[in-house]
Chain A
């Protein structure tokens, strides 16, 4: 319990390196807890959105705005990036740092693609549809919910990029492994949230 020490395991990497040290295990546990809090956070944002989604204040409504092919493309990029992050963790478990790095890189690129599409989408709304933060309660709720998710994606990209740097610098160890594992958990979480956004915001906006 007390020698929660990383150095002892530096040499040979165990099968699940993220759980090799007490620190690592604590980190994974605490991250699950943190995601519980994040779930409440997004839950509240979703509730707010649902309460205000028809309050368009004579501005554009969901139906006038959303362009499903674009959103579908973004969804595709993000879902695939979740898959690639699974491959990354598998590579980590097989102790293949180079492969791990490549899958992480691909994940980041896909995430950037998603973010790019979202920024394009938002700027289209603002420029051509006169749909900004201040337009209506619906617009406020839309930008806040989707934008919060976008900010999470941006943070995830930054985070994983830093970890790629750290990997190059320090290698795959019992210290870096939990960080990578946890970042993958985070990435999946954002992905799941997006599935809800896709359904509740976009699909429901188009049909409901």
Chain B
């Protein structure tokens, strides 16, 4: 109950972490099943339809329900602390964002049990995803589930933007803000401008499928390429939504363990902004083979390659930060240092793919699969591991085991390269992606076997991490406020885990790496910017949860609005949109309650603060 009603950003962070972890696990199992199917030629472990469902759900789950929430978990756990705030700007909305994400994700995964999962690939290309080719409700689960989950993401993005703009501690100018706060800020801005596009795309696809509209149906005058434009104008920025937070994490971890300030801080900020901007200009590099014509292809190829410049700046700045530092390879830094070469390799194949003529060869082969896994797994997932190991003591008050952490790292990275490095060659040799099996003796056999073994190793690495979490959770909470001893930013200046109100007194920020600066000046902690006073806290509320349940019911109701059920009464309820209306009523009812009863929250008084 406590967890359902919470509006505390630190608890919401933990909710995001468990929910994201759960979906990541599901997506991981799906990945292993895919790899098991491909372990040998002409395997019949799963049939073609199930294979399509597996790759679709694997990609969709990993991106929208696995890594995004874990990113949000870290943001929620860290951002208010890093900017010296007591909370986020909208605690209520923060909770709402989490619950809509969770219920959207649950809806999507219900598809496995309710007559078939989506099967048109995570990109849901039309007309493949239209009713003509995808007759089950699978794609409806995709459109409506993602719609609901996407709402949560959008809410989260707006919340972080407002939080970072308005709640920074005194003295923390934008150019004194930690890099993770910066990348969160820019990521949130991308979310704000990219997600509404997919919202529209999903609505249009839903209308095509449920209301018989013709947006993407060529026979009715619609255009399948239009879907690709809408999808990728969201989809390409989406990959920056994923990778920029990882850049932020790396930029926090490396200076801490190199005991040096981040090299080229302002160029890092500038590069981040530039990447975000260019990210919106290059979507059609996913569409070279749709026949856009040589001029469009050339423009999008060049603009894509331009992104390598700011990205290169970042890579070199990290290397220069490590250079000459007194580097300590604790687990977070192992992951961060492992990130640099792996991510760079993904970047290099990215530039190769950006060359339009070459892409005609690479397109829809395993080369592409290798490329994006180098970026997403070798980049983002490694970044998330770095961040989780780094901030774990702050979030939970307990250090993860270093020994197990190092084992996790080596198992995971070995498995990763085994899995995906060989896929470059499979792709160059012509093995197609999204095809459920292959013929023997085309030089695909051995490399696929290697790839599957690697996937198993990655799974083992994940299990080691879980074991670490499990063992750690049984230890006493004894992590100090600054457990790595070289913490530079504000979150390390308060106890672990932080008290409900984060900062007893709002700190005064006197420079970049505020806490480090005070330590170097010989101070024990931050100088407060205000006297001890009563602290205002928002109250817990079940309304965000209830609102999300309502949306969930409305989504199911709409999805089955054309179906005939065994029971005539049930059909009546669905076909007349009564279920949909009921769900919306619950949501709007909760909104009404929220607006009628103003909740002024409560206060923590100074005596209580001193009592601790």
Contact = CB atoms under 8 A, between A and B. Distances in A.
Interface residues of B, number: 48
16 contacts: A1-B167, A3-B536, A25-B166, A26-B162, A30-B159, A48-B200, A48-B215, A51-B223, A51-B226, A55-B214, A133-B213, A134-B213, A137-B214, A137-B220, A137-B223, A179-B595
Interface string B452-464: 0000000000000
Interface stretch (B201-209, B251-259, B385-393, B575-583): B201-209
Nearest to A29: B162
A166 interface: yes
Interface string A36-59: 111011001100100110011100
Interface of B: 86, 89-90, 154, 158-159, 161-162, 165-167, 192-197, 199-201, 203-204, 207-208, 211-215, 217, 220-223, 226, 230, 233, 506, 530, 533-536, 592, 595-596, 598, 600
B598 A175 contact: yes
Interface in A135-171: 135-141, 144, 162, 166, 169-170
Interface stretch (A4-12, A75-83, A103-111): A4-12
A13 interface: no
A183 to B, nearest CB: 11
Given A33-B192, A144-B203, 10 more contacts: A1-B167, A22-B166, A37-B158, A41-B200, A44-B197, A44-B200, A44-B230, A48-B230, A52-B221, A56-B221
A34 interface: yes
Contact of A2 (B86, B154, B192, B221): B86
Contacts of B89: 26, 30
Shortest 6 CB-CB distances between A and B: which pairs?
A55-B221, A137-B221, A140-B213, A41-B196, A40-B196, A44-B200
Contacts of B165: 29
Contacts of B208: 140
B600 A37 contact: no
Contacts of A134: 211-214, 220
A9 to B, nearest CB: 12
A134 B221 CA distance: 11
A133 B207 contact: yes
Contacts of B530: 1-2
B515 to A, nearest CB: 20
A22 B212 CA distance: 47
Nearest to B199: A41
Nearest to B192: A37
Given A136-B221, A144-B204, A162-B592, A30 B158 contact: yes
Contacts of A37: 154, 158, 192-193, 195-196
Interface in A166-204: 166, 169-170, 175, 179
A200 to B, nearest CB: 16
Contacts of A57: 214, 220-221
B204 A52 contact: no
A22 to B, nearest CB: 7
B331 to A, nearest CB: 36
Contacts of A34: 158
B534 A3 contact: yes
Contacts of B230: 44, 48
Given A44-B200, A45-B200, A56-B221, A144 B207 contact: yes
Contacts of A6: 598, 600
A64 to B, nearest CB: 16
Contact of B204 (A4, A30, A48, A139): A48
Nearest to B216: A137
A52 B224 CA distance: 11
Contacts of A38: 196
B158 A33 contact: yes
A36 B157 CA distance: 12
B215 A52 contact: yes
A174 to B, nearest CB: 11
Nearest to B154: A37
A136 B214 contact: yes
A143 to B, nearest CB: 8
Nearest to A143: B213
Contacts of A179: 595
Contacts of B201: 44
Contacts of A55: 214, 220-223
A52 B222 contact: yes
B211 to A, nearest CB: 5
B221 A138 contact: yes
Given A34-B158, A136-B214, A48 B226 contact: yes
